[in-house]
Amino acid sequence: MAELGAVIAEYVRDVEAGARTRDDVRELRRDLTHVASELGTLEVDQVRARHVEALVDELRAAGLPPDRVRSVIEALRSLYAYAIGRGLVKASPLVGLAVGGTEARTPTAAMLDLGEQVVAWTVRVIVIAFVLIALGLVVVLA
> What pLDDT digit, counting tens, does each position of 91-120 carry?
888 887 766 554 556 777 778 778 888 888
**Which residues, including other chains, have CB under 8 Å from residue 32's CB and lie 6 or more apart?**
8, 11, 12, 72, 75, 76, 79
**Please, are residues 44 and 89 in contact by the beta-carbon 8 Å criterion?**
yes
| pLDDT tens, residue by residue, 1-47 | 789 999 999 999 888 887 667 888 888 899 999 899 999 999 999 99
How many other CB atoms sit within 10 Å of the CB of residue 104? 9
Asked whether the CA dihedral 117, 118, 119, 125 is positive or negative, the reply is positive
